[in-house]
Chains A and B, each alone.
Chain A
Amino acid sequence: MMRFYPGCTLSSSARPYGRSIFWVCERLGIEIKELPDWTCCGATSAHALNRDLAYALPARNLAIAHELGDDLVVACSACYSRLKIAQRALENPQTRERVARVLGRPLDGRVQINNILEVLGAQMARIQKEKSKALEGLKVACYYGCLATRIPRIISFDDRENPTMMERLVSAAGATPIEWPAKTSCCGASFSVIHEAIALKMSSQIVEMARRAGADVLVTSCPFCQYNLDWAQWQLKQSHAVPVLFITQLVGLALGGSERELMLGAHLADLDLTPRPPSQAPSPLCSPLPQRGEGMGVRVGERPSPCRGGAGEG
């Protein structure tokens, strides 16, 4: 049995994720229970403003898990990354002492922290065996986002620059994962709130790459990533949107879950899971880079020459 740390979004904007995680785990016989008395890990805001909060907030949850003697499983990339970073920081005795003072209690952060992808990955064979033909022919671009595998000084559960855990899950689930270059690019995260224009550009570029690589569907393991890629397409009123699913929604579909159970109706942009015919023309090659000062009036650099080659010169 593992303790599940949901993080603040899983009951709210990422409810489809939360739902589908529990559905898939039950289906595959993975026993998970919510970590009792969990509180927010601090996400970006804590480390952005306050070093002590940045360690103390996740450390509090680590302490609970440690006391229970259970392993943790985390789905949200930000929560996962903050918990891992805090754990690493606590190895330094001075830091541990400082954080213990903030928490007002002695502290032990030694807990096994698993990413949901590792946990699902352990069930690869079973997924392979029990999958239906629901996903046959579907071309899937797997999007990890920047945090899941790229945590400084911590050995990742997958290849840092070219993780393949999701691809293997997608394959086991009967769909076809595709090779594409933006799988660990940043979606813009909280900038979709703070500075929409930037996040729109970052997220839509990622979606565009997936589309050009021939994806029917994008799949991700991070709530913010799902939100940003989904919202960007909705905001830009993208025709022929590339649906952005959570990995557990896709795997759930293959294992017989219903649309309702997996909350597939909750996407912002239109959801259309039929494989696209290969003749669909890809969009223009590369959008010109934003130059310094765009939107900030600070300094304007030279526009680079537009990219050459490939189909549909812009």
Chain B
Amino acid sequence: MLKAQSLSFLEEIEAHSGEMVRRCFQCDRCATGCPMIAQMQHAPNELFRLIQLGDRETVLSSNTFWFCVSCYTCSVRCPNDIDIAHVMDTLRELSLKEGFSPALPQARDFHQIFLDCVRRRGRVSELELMARYTLKLRKPFARLAVGWELLRKGRLELWPRGAPSVRQLFQQAEEQR
């Protein structure tokens, strides 16, 4: 039995994302248009209803925003003009911040490694990204086949050119959290 709580969780999500999650009237367009809905424990609108009722625990531990592929289909179809994909970003960020373990840890790993590559080099070297990612997954030989194909066909940059540093930028962002 879900007990309806105060609106403070709703207000928090709305403040962080800038989106009016309260406007949702459960039309279901986001759910039926989402290419990943079959993987999600909760449809986006169901998640919004849980947010409205203040169920922080269920929401932040849901796998929904981990499976979101940010295609923005829901956002452009929502009749209440809610950028739903952006709210998914907010939930993901909050979920990690509060220590919930991600439903798709490889997604978190990938994105973290990606950002770290950017932090170190200013641009992403795909070779570095894939190498570090497969190592993290402890599957160093996964993707060797496709990696080799790409390399063979000239689609893998072995020695990426230098780019300006963005370490300062990352540091500032970290401090601002």
Q: In the complex, A touching B, CB below 8 Å?
A: yes
Q: Name the A residues within 8 Å of B76 (CB-CB).
A: 150, 152, 160
- In the complex, are the beta carbons of B93 and A49 less than 8 A apart? yes
Is A296 on the interface with B (CB-CB < 8 A)? yes
Name the residue of chain B whose CB is nearest to the CB of A205. Answer: B35
Are B155 and A298 interface neighbours, CB within 8 A?
A: no
Determine if A13 and B71 form an interchain contact, defined as CB atoms under 8 angstroms apart: no
Complex CA–CA separation, A289 to B32 (angstroms): 12
A39 touches B166 (CB 8 A): yes
**Residues in A whose Cβ lies below 8 Å from that of B149:** 234, 268
The segment from A98-106, A165-173, A250-258 found at the interface with B is A98-106
Task: Tell whether, in the assembled complex, residue B41 and residue A299 are in contact, meaning their CB atoms are under 8 Å apart.
Answer: yes
CB pair B70 A48 closer than 8 Å: yes
A32 at the interface (CB under 8 A from B): no
B83 at the binding interface (Cβ < 8 Å): yes
The closest CB in chain B to the CB of A192 belongs to B146
Which of A152, A291, A292 lies in contact with B75, CB distance below 8 A?
A: A152
How far apart are the CA atoms of A292 and B70 in the complex, in Å? 19
| Chain B interface, >50% SS class | helix
The 8 Å CB contact of A53, one of B127, B156, B173, is: B173
Per the CB 8 Å criterion, the residue count for chain B at the interface is: 64
Q: Report whether A43 and B38 are in contact in the complex, using a CB–CB cutoff of 8 Å.
A: no
Binds A, one of B2-10, B21-29, B48-56, B110-118: B110-118
Interface residue? A274 (CB, 8 A): no
Q: Does B126 contact A (CB under 8 A)?
A: yes
A64 and B30 alpha carbons, distance in the complex (Å): 37
Rounded to whole Å, the gap between the CB of A196 and the closest CB of chain B is 9
Is A198 part of the binding interface, using a Cβ–Cβ cutoff of 8 Å? Answer: yes
Contact (Cβ within 8 A) B169 A49: no
Are A189 and B69 interface neighbours, CB within 8 A? yes
Residues of chain B contacted by A193 (CB below 8 angstroms): 110, 130, 133
Given the known inter-chain contacts A198-B39, A268-B146, please indicate yes or no for A12 contacting B153, CB distance below 8 A.
Answer: no
On whether the beta carbons of B170 and A185 are closer than 8 Å, the reply is no
B residues less than 8 Å from A194 (CB atoms): 104, 106-107, 110
Count of residues in A whose CB is under 8 Å from the partner chain: 69
**Interchain nearest-CB distance for B38 vs A (Å):** 4
A49-B96, A104-B168 given as contacts; is B63 within 8 A of A298 (CB)? yes
Contacting pair B153 A40 (CB below 8 A): no
State the Cβ distance, A230 to closest chain B Cβ, in Å: 10
The answer to whether B90 touches A150, judged by C-beta atoms less than 8 angstroms apart, is no
Report the minimal beta-carbon distance from A112 to chain B, rounded to whole angstroms.
22
Per-position 1/0 for A32-71, Cβ under 8 A of B: 0000011110111111111111101100100000000000
- The distance in angstroms between the C-alpha atoms of A54 and B16, with both chains bound, is 14
CB pair A54–B71 under 8 Å, yes or no, is no
A146 in the interface (beta carbon within 8 A)? yes
Kindly identify, within residues 1 to 57 of chain A, every residue whose CB is under 8 Å from any CB belonging to chain B: 8-9, 11-16, 37-40, 42-54, 56-57
Bound state CA distance, A185 and B90, in angstroms? 24
- A195 pairs with B153, CB closer than 8 A: no
Binding site for A on B (CB under 8 A): 16, 35-41, 63, 69-73, 75-76, 81, 83, 85-86, 89-90, 92-93, 96, 103-104, 106-108, 110-112, 114-115, 118, 122-127, 130, 133, 146, 149-150, 153-157, 160-161, 163-164, 166, 168-170, 172-173, 176-177
Can you give 29 contacting A-B residue pairs, CB < 8 Å?
A12-B155, A15-B157, A39-B122, A39-B164, A42-B115, A45-B110, A46-B115, A47-B86, A48-B92, A49-B111, A52-B176, A52-B177, A53-B115, A53-B169, A53-B170, A57-B169, A102-B169, A102-B176, A103-B169, A146-B71, A146-B73, A150-B76, A152-B75, A152-B85, A186-B35, A193-B130, A193-B133, A231-B146, A298-B41
A-to-B contact residues, CB < 8 Å: 8-9, 11-16, 37-40, 42-54, 56-57, 60, 81, 98, 101-104, 146-147, 150-153, 160, 185-186, 188-191, 193-195, 198, 202, 231, 234-235, 263, 265-268, 289-292, 294-296, 298-299
Please provide the 10 A-B residue pairs with the shortest distance between their CB atoms, ordered closest to farther. A146-B71, A45-B114, A186-B71, A45-B111, A12-B157, A8-B124, A266-B153, A152-B75, A52-B173, A39-B122
